[in-house]
Amino acid sequence: MTLTGVTKATKPYEGQKPGTSGLRKAVKVFQQENYTENFVQCILSAMEGALHGCTLVVGGDGRFFGKEAVAIIIKMCAANGVRKLLVGQNGILSTPCVSCIIRKYKTAGGIVLTASHNPGGPNADFGIKFNISNGGPAPDGVTNKIYGLSQSISEYKICPDLQCDISKIGTQEYVVDGNPFTVEIVDSVKDYVEYMKEIFDFGAIKDLLHGAGGQPPLKVLINSMHGVTGPYVRRIFLEELGASEDCVVNIVPLEDFGGHHPDPNLTYAADLVNALKAGDYGFGAAFDGDGDRNMILGHKAFFVTPSDSVAVIADNTDCIPYFKKNGVKGLARSMPTGCSIDRVAAKKNVEVFEVPTGWKYFGNLMDAGRLSICGEESFGTGSDHIREKDGIWAVLAWLSILGVKKTTVEKALHNHWQTYGRNFFTRYDYENCEADPCNAMMAELDALSNDPSMIGKELSHGSKTYKVAKVDNFEYKDPIDGAVAKKQGVRILMSDGSRVVFRLSGTGSSGATVRLYIESYESDPSTYAKDAQEMLKPLVEIALQLSKLRERTGRQEPTVIT
Ligand code: G1P
Ligand code: ZN
């Protein structure tokens, strides 16, 4: 079929600035005339010389407006000189799977259609994220370029007559302006599942689930929250590992995630928590909309903080064939993440990195061969097997550990604390506040970093007193390319190693979301079993008073506590 690309005139839209993880806005914003087209053109134009003749991956979490966006992207790539697209069947690819496919087929990058854990549907959110050829989210240099282009865009290229059926696996060939253009519709899960089978010992996990060598079977409950992981869970847990149907729930992806927040935390995955509390399951897990986040629970809903989860995985790499083969080069966490993994790095004598919030900051370190395992407190866990965090990978890692070490989730954690001490951690989220007072609060907190009277100051609540050792607004210089990221969150560091961190979310689609992170370290074994909220209460209160957060936001309670 011979087709022609056309150039259409357009005008810039304000605010097409990618946040922590791509451009996220209300669906209605993306549906405005040329809004999506503008942003896609800026992504393609930012590729400059690498665009012509390249191959790109396209897919997303199946949320509302995803199929429309895929159709636009196909038509625009055709007119912009792209040679080939690998598109997930029905537009479905989890974020980790996009990363996997980009790397496996060595494509120039990929476009991920997701707003991650934000709700979906006509009145909720959509998102577009660009990943580069290493499979990871575009770094700041690229997203800044995309944003710059969006401010002056005057035209875009599209091939309006191109029709492509994305529901059938197979290859469709076109000729656009005399050049060949191929769209290959790929199985949404195949490449990813094959890769997981290389990384993990599926036989050992199967033994764990079914019982072997005198061990009783482990009953698991996996909740896909109607996000994109459904088909992956079906293939891996039901078909490959032979788990029974009652071990998986919400595995049919829905465009609106059933009307819920597809965010695996104690608030939004409350049904998983309640199901585990009943005591019938020994292990529970949930994933977010696009499959990069995970929450791990043990028997009776014993909660594993994501900061501890990645530390336990890093401490038990001998249970995972991928690491036995490749070794562990270094470890990392985002700045607000609890510091448990630092202690593992110290013991194993490997480098540890503290990067700003956002998975894109891990990519360079992995590419340079200096980072193997990393995590974020926001339920992100992953390794250098791809360049995105990976929810299913985290669950398979945990199951590998439980199988090899013949232990339970709770025992694994207690064992970890006995060795390293416990980093108590909590995060308070104040979602969708008014932006101006939050910005003012952050400015005031930022000013504290230049206030010499803060150093040595004693802050008390009840019988607890903390002494301020340092206040700063976190700044990071990438050790590989020297890029500097400034003002990544105000940190108040106490003399006993406890920390308070404030930052504004970069993923919200409107208003401001304040995140308050609190951490303290204990090496007294009698505290290990204590409730984190109880332990951290005085420091939380100190942070709230210091920042006047309640007065500023008008919120007495956070929206979500993790
Ligand atoms: C949040 C998390 C961050 C994560 C990002 C994408 O970003 O805090 O760790 O990388 O989502 O999943 P934030 O909204 O805080 O900018
Ligand atoms: Zn996500």
The CATH number linked to 7 is 3.40.120.10
Domain interval for residue 224: 191-420
CATH code at 436? 3.30.310.50
Query: Which pLDDT value is given to residue 2?
Result: 78
Question: For residue 153, which phi and psi values (nearest 5 degrees)?
Answer: -60, 140
Ligand 1 and 18: CB distance under 6 A: no
314 in the same domain as 391? yes
CA of 288 to the centre of ligand 2 (A): 6
Other CB atoms within 10 Å distance of the CB of residue 323: 23
pLDDT averaged over every residue in the chain: 95
Tell whether 436 and 404 lie within a shared domain. no
Q: Atom 15 in ligand 1: which residue has the minimum CA distance? A: 505
Ligand 1 atom 2, closest CA: 378
Chain-centre distance for alpha carbon 384: 14
Determine the pLDDT at residue 189: 98
Q: Report whether pLDDT(3) > 70.
A: yes
Q: What are phi and psi of 170, to 5 degrees?
A: 150, 180
| 334 Cβ below 6 A of ligand 1 | yes
Report pTM: 0.93
In this prediction, residues 111-125 reach a mean pLDDT of: 96
Strand boundaries in 199-280, DSSP class E: 220-223, 248-249
Which pLDDT tens digit goes with each residue over 318-376?
A: 999 999 999 999 999 999 999 999 999 999 999 999 999 999 899 999 999 999 999 99
The response to whether residue 265 sits with its C-beta less than 6 Å from ligand 1 reads no
The residue nearest atom 11 of ligand 1, judged by CA position, is 507
Question: Per residue in 395-430, pLDDT tens?
Answer: 999 999 999 999 999 999 999 999 999 999 999 999
Distance between Cα 210 and ligand 1 center (Å): 36
pLDDT > 70? residue 380? yes
Catalytic residue among 94, 99, 116, 188: 116
Q: What is the pLDDT of residue 562?
A: 87
DSSP structural state of residue 215: P
Positive or negative torsion for Cα 46, 47, 49, 52: negative
- The most confident of the ranges 194-203, 445-454, 501-510 is 194-203
Nearest ligand 1 atom to the CA of 359 is: 10
Query: For residue 254, which of 275, 218, 225, 233 has the smallest C-alpha distance?
Result: 225
Which mutation among 507, 513, 514, 562 tests ligand 1's pocket best, with the greatest number of atoms within 8 A of CB? Answer: 507
Handedness of CA 231, 232, 236, 240 (dihedral sign): positive
Which of helix, strand or coil describes residue 256?
coil
User: Given a cut of 80, is residue 20 above it in pLDDT?
Assistant: no
Residue 542 has pLDDT above 80, yes or no: yes
Question: How far does residue 508's CA lie from ligand 1's centre (Å)?
Answer: 9
Residue 549 three-state SS? helix
Same domain membership, residue 362 and residue 463? no
- Under 8 Å between Cβ of 31 and 65: yes
pLDDT digits over 265-305, tens only? Answer: 998 999 999 999 999 999 999 999 999 999 999 999 999 99
Do 56 and 197 fall within a single domain? no
Using the 3D structure, point to which of 164, 188, 212 is the last residue of a domain.
Answer: 188
pLDDT of residue 509: 64
Q: Is the CB of 489 within 6 Å of ligand 1?
A: no
On whether the CB atoms of residues 449 and 490 are closer than 8 A, the answer is yes
Could you confirm whether 372 is annotated as catalytic?
A: no
C-alpha distance from residue 158 to each of 5, 8, 49, 149, 189 (Å): 5, 8, 19, 17, 29
Specify whether the CB–CB gap between 99 and 388 falls below 8 A. yes
* Ligand 1 pocket check for 337: Cβ under 6 Å: no
Q: Report which bound ligand comes closest to the CA of 292.
A: 2
Q: Are residues 130 and 30 in the same domain?
A: yes
Q: Are residues 365 and 242 in the same domain?
A: yes
In the structure encoding, which two tokens stand for residue 191, read together?
A: 């490449």
Domain count across the chain = 3
| Torsional class of 17: left (φ above 0), alpha (ψ -120 to 50), beta (otherwise) | beta
C-beta of 307 in contact with ligand 1 (< 6 A) = no
What pLDDT shows up at residue 496? 87
- Which residues keep their CB under 5 angstroms from ion ligand 2? 116, 288, 290, 292-293
User: b/e string for 123-142 if b means 16 or more Cβ within 10 A?
Assistant: ebbbbbbbbbbbbbbbbbeb
**Is 143 touching ligand 1 by the criterion CB < 6 Å?**
no
Distance 338 CA to ligand 1 centre (A): 15
pLDDT, position 305: 96
Q: Which residue has the tokens 């299913």?
A: 392
Alpha-carbon torsion (482, 483, 487, 490), positive or negative: negative
pLDDT for 516 equals 97
Nearest to 30, CA basis, from 138, 128, 97, 130: 128
* Cα torsion angle, 52, 62, 289, 438, sign: positive
Q: Which residue, of 162, 188, 214, is where some domain finishes?
A: 188
For residue range 184-202, what is the model confidence (pLDDT) as tens digits? 999 999 999 999 999 999 9
Paired with 342 in beta bridges are: none
